[in-house]
Structure 1
Amino acid sequence: MEYKDYYKILGVARDATPDDIKRAYRRLARKYHPDVSKETDAEARFKEVNEANEVLKDPEKRAAYDALGRGWQAGQEFHPPPGGGFEQREFHFRPEDMAQFSDFFASLFGRRARASEARARRGEDQNARLRIGLAEAFSGTTRQLTLSEPVVEPNGRLTTRTRTLNVRIPAGVTQGQQIRLAGQGAPGGGSGAAGDLYLEIELDTHPFFRADGKDIHVQVPIAPWEAALGASIQVPTLAGPVNLKIPAGSQGGRRLRLKGRGLPGHPPGDEFVELEILAPVAHTDEQKALYRRMAETFAFNPRASLGV
Structure 2
Amino acid sequence: MPPTAFSDFFESLFGGGFEADAESEGWPGEASGWAMRGDDHEAAIDVSLEESFNGGRKTVSLQTATMAPDGRIRRGVKTLTVTIPRGVIDGQRVRLRGQGGEGPGGGDAGDLYLRVRLLPHPVYRVAGHDLEMDLAVTPWEAALGARVEMETLGGKATVVLPPGTQSGQRLRIRGQGLPEGNRHGDLYARIQVKVPPRLTRRERELFQSLARESAFRPRME
TM-score, normalised via structure 2 length: 0.76
Contact 1:218–1:272, Cα closer than 8 Å, also in 2? yes
**Map 1:136-285 → 2, pairs under 5 A:** 136-178=51-93, 184-190=99-105, 194-266=109-181, 267-285=183-201
Q: Determine helix, strand or coil for the equivalent of 2:141.
A: helix
CA pair 208-95 structure 1, distance change in 2 beyond 3 A? closer
**Given residue 219 of structure 2, which amino acid in structure 1 is its aligned partner?**
R
* RMSD over equivalenced CA pairs, Å: 2.6
1:96 paired residue among 27, 31, 44: 31
CA pair 197-230 structure 1, distance change in 2 beyond 3 A? same
Contact 2:43–2:62, Cα closer than 8 Å, also in 1? no
Q: What residue ranges of structure 1 are gaps of 5+ in the alignment? A: 1-93, 98-114
**Given residue 209 of structure 2, which amino acid in structure 1 is its aligned partner?**
R
How far did 1:124 drift?
4.9
Counterpart-to-counterpart distance in 1, 2:211 and 2:91:
50
| Residue number in structure 1 paired with 2:211 | 295
Counterpart-to-counterpart distance in 2, 1:187 and 1:167:
21
**Given residue 178 of structure 2, which amino acid in structure 1 is its aligned partner?**
L
Contact 1:126–1:186, Cα closer than 8 Å, also in 2? yes
How far did 1:165 drift?
1.3
Contact 1:218–1:274, Cα closer than 8 Å, also in 2? yes
How far did 1:125 drift?
4.5
Q: How many residues align?
A: 192
Q: Relative to total residues, which structure has the larger helix share, 1 or 2?
A: 1
| Residue number in structure 2 paired with 1:14 | none
Q: What residue ranges of structure 2 are gaps of 5+ in the alignment? A: 1-28
**Given residue 199 of structure 2, which amino acid in structure 1 is its aligned partner?**
H
Contact 1:153–1:159, Cα closer than 8 Å, also in 2? yes
Identity over aligned residues, as a percent? 38
CA pair 187-238 structure 1, distance change in 2 beyond 3 A? same
Higher relative contact order (CA 8 A, sep 6+): 2
1:130 paired residue among 20, 45, 54: 45
How far did 1:281 drift?
3.1
User: Could you report, residue by residue, the CA deviation over 1:55-82 in whole angstroms, capped at 9, with x for unpaired residues?
Assistant: xxxxxxxxxxxxxxxxxxxxxxxxxxxx
Counterpart-to-counterpart distance in 1, 2:195 and 2:71:
72
CA pair 208-304 structure 1, distance change in 2 beyond 3 A? farther
Contact 1:282–1:288, Cα closer than 8 Å, also in 2? no
Contact 2:31–2:104, Cα closer than 8 Å, also in 1? no
How far did 1:188 drift?
3.6
Higher mean displacement: 141-150 or 276-285? 276-285
Q: Determine helix, strand or coil for the equivalent of 2:212.
A: helix
Q: Relative to total residues, which structure has the larger strand share, 1 or 2?
A: 2
Q: Determine helix, strand or coil for the equivalent of 2:136.
A: strand
How far did 1:285 drift?
1.5
**Map 1:51-130 → 2, pairs under 5 A:** 96=31, 115=33, 123-130=38-45
Higher alpha-carbon Rg:
1
